[in-house]
A and B are shown apart, each in its own frame.
Chain A
Amino acid sequence: MNREKFLAELKAALGRMPESEKREVLADYEEHFRMGMAEGKDEEQIAASLGNPRLLGKSYAIDALLEEPKGGGGVSAVSVLRALFASISLTFFNLIFILGPLLGLVGVMIGLWAAAVSLPLAGVATLVSPLATLVAPGFFTLSGISPAFLVFAGIGVAAIGLLAVIGMWKLTRLFVLMIAAYVKFNARIVTRRK
């Protein structure tokens, strides 16, 4: 592979990185080629010892996606997922051993969220059920349960449900951060061209 082809493949693999940053990255490799050639090496030799330009480009793209946005705010879930996807495409290993368990975990999270959200809804429904009998007495009956009991039980279930939602919120943040840490770790693979 010659210099031009190496740089073109690298640039293509940088993905959604801003143009100015792409130029900075490419400049590092252009400098490397220039100095290698000044030492009498040919383009093919230099490109071969640099490694696979597509894999190199991917590792920049992943680093860029995982950078903390300027002015705080942390890593967004969308950028984490996008970086994860880029990382998955790095190796076949990831596709089989990481994507499967990950999708399973995402499913578990969705299930837990559904359970957490349904609790406060159930609480509110219980709380207002005595009202329903006032609005349409012929249609709804309380089956002999005291309205006071329903009101207090409703408040109790709604409160527990709110705690569950707060807990899920924290658990989801932790989940996203764990994925981010894994992707970062994974992206630092030393890519040796065979």
Chain B
Amino acid sequence: MNIQFKKGVLELCVLVVLCRKDYYGYELVQTISKNIDIAEGTVYPLLRRLTKEGYFTTYIQESTEGPARKYYQITDKGRQYQAVLLEEWTRFITGVNSLIGKEDVA
């Protein structure tokens, strides 16, 4: 798929996934790359930027297997931003689908 297109969608994906529960970096990257074909490393700069912009907070938690993990947790601001992006995305995809569905578009 087109690179320009994917980079915008990746931000939405990260926000949507973190709305469900807290993830540690590796787990989040695996969840996303299982579904969309991306360079896995690009998720980390995105996480860092969105954290700095106040959409996520991070905390360190010990794990039973191996060393401590850095978890990401979405903030209220992040949830609001996710809702806005999701709304935009849904409107966009509905429009595209209705264009694809029609044989001739006037």
A interface, CB within 8 angstroms of B? 24-25, 27-29, 31-32, 34-36, 38, 49-53, 56, 59-60, 63, 67, 188-193
Contact = CB atoms under 8 A, between A and B. Distances in A.
A63 B40 CA distance: 18
Contacts of B45: 56, 59-60, 63
Interface of B: 3-4, 6-8, 10-11, 24-26, 29, 33, 37-42, 44-49, 52, 65-67, 69-70
Contacts of B52: 63, 67
B76 to A, nearest CB: 21
Contact of A51 (B6, B42, B46): B42
Main SS class of interface, A: helix
Given A56-B44, A63-B48, 10 more contacts: A49-B33, A51-B42, A52-B41, A56-B39, A59-B42, A63-B45, A190-B6, A190-B39, A191-B42, A192-B37
A192 B10 CA distance: 13
Given A25-B44, A28-B25, A56-B45, A190 B7 contact: yes
